[in-house]
Structure 1
């Protein structure tokens, strides 16, 4: 008689971790962010966090992997990932608003210290620098309800909603599951169903200078970022790589 090995069922932790890594790969490789995973005990409701380097003007957009510090600016990014079967409701946005509010509350506006422009400089996970702009991103495996979209429109936090399917345990190769490096531009494009942001982000932090455009790739329809008629590439300054 052949004894078959016992396979452990996929736990909620397995599902959540796999989706976080999937979201991390999408944001870093296709939106050119510089994020890291922080999910776990005591994470304060944050799954991913880091920086998003953007050109300061339309003439500086495009591929700027060798950009000088004065050519780009950085925005702090806080991300929550939700691998749930149902579309996310307004409660999830309110939860993220609470996380951002708590971080801002713990910020010290009297601090005069200046952070290094290097992306390797890690801020405290319990607060935000009040002198730097920040945005919140909510990533859902199953999308968002209409009421969520309506609520998010009037939210006072700069907010991006991303409907990102995939990221199930077992769907990735062992190498992909272990890979958490921020830059892997040669990898396969990840399909995204939709990407949306509110006015606090588009008009506030981004100053109406960056727009979303649908793109068609090998895996279907995606979303690209454009500025002044040019697609935005990676903008992290040379010193930060």
Structure 2
């Protein structure tokens, strides 16, 4: 496989931006919206005591977890990666367990044009200060092959994130891989410093993806602006996950409005979708994407009557 130059470019164009606190992790997508968009539910989290950086810090303080422990360092780094990538439309959940195949985060990537049909993503985080070798890329390939249920699809990328820059051996192994893989260098505070990917990523339809170096001024410090890397799409900023969630929530509301079912109980919403998918499989997606449905009023009346009969008291 020949390495595509465009896949590894770092532009020299820079911009001065201000860096605020890490993006909040809000899970605003309703279960019904996830079902409507066929977005899988992540496997159980390894802890019920925390789910993002703020809750982990609170838990660590409450339990007096030493900051020097590998548990503290590794968990903090995973949540930092989760928070930082949210800025680029990644919706990630921390997972873990005996059969996790070394995967730390799973989720979806809602790039422009794919907000409603996102790519699946698996992430490995390596909060190591030592030099990282090509064996980690091979480990990432193994995680790609053994992804959780819901992530076993061809529209999927795997990402390895570490505080270290990719060595030549890592870059060569990444290039030769037959899987769509990323390498990201991210510091412990979430500053993104390097993003690399192979040609298999572009073959998925991610060719408009780019990187840009910008100078970040950290609030409440006197330090000089630092260079950070951001992901772009066709040269423009990628809307963050907050924007994507708002758009999906509006799409969900519009979809329910088309059926005049905004106030239905959750069970009836799911049943409506089930009836629709069994009777007219393509109709649910057509409405979601704003398509024109032939004989919509007649089909609508039929389906709502079926729903009413189903839930007669």
TM band (smaller chain): 0.5 to 0.7
Higher strand share: 1
TM (norm. structure 2) is 0.51
Q: CA deviation at 1:86?
A: 1.3
Q: Which of the pair is proportionally richer in helix?
A: 2
Offset, 1:164: 0.8
Q: Are residues 1:232 and 2:254 paired?
A: no
Counterparts of 1:78 and 1:14, CA distance in 2: 21
* Residue in structure 1 matching 2:187, options 149, 160, 165: 165
State yes or no: 1:141 paired with 2:156. no
More deviation, 228-237/38-47: 228-237
Partner of 1:63: none
Tell me, in whole angstroms, the C-alpha distance in 1 between the residues paired with 2:205 and 2:131: 27
2:70 aligns with one of 6, 9, 12: 12
What is the alpha-carbon distance in structure 2 between the residues aligned to residue 199 and residue 23 of structure 1?
Answer: 23
Q: Which has the larger radius of gyration?
A: 2
- 1:140-196: per-residue Cα shift (whole Å, max 9, x none)? 1223221101110121111111111115xxxxxxxxxxxxxxxxxxxxxx4222111
Please tell me whether the aligned partners of residues 192 and 221 of structure 1 are also in contact (alpha carbons under 8 angstroms).
no
Give the alignment's Cα RMSD to 1 decimal. Answer: 2.5
Give the TM-score normalised by structure 1.
Answer: 0.65
- Measured against aligned partners, the alpha-carbon deviations of 1:197-237 in whole angstroms (never above 9, x if no partner) come to 11111x21234222222222214222223233322213444
Q: How many residues align?
A: 177
Alignment correspondent of 1:62: none
Q: Does 1:221 align with 2:265?
A: no
Unaligned runs of 5+ in 2: 1-63, 219-225, 253-313
> What corresponds to 1:3 in structure 2?
none
The alpha-carbon distance between structure 1 residues 71 and 146, as it changes in their structure 2 partners (threshold 3 A), is closer
Give the Cα–Cα distance (whole angstroms) in 2 for the partners of residues 221 and 89 of structure 1. Answer: 25
Q: Is 1:155 aligned to residue 150 of structure 2?
A: no
Question: Is the 1:54–1:72 Cα contact (8 Å) retained in structure 2?
Answer: no
- Name the CA shift for 1:208/1:9 in 2 (closer, same or farther; >3 Å): closer
Q: Say if 1:21 and 1:215 are closer, same or farther in 2 by CA, change over 3 A.
A: same
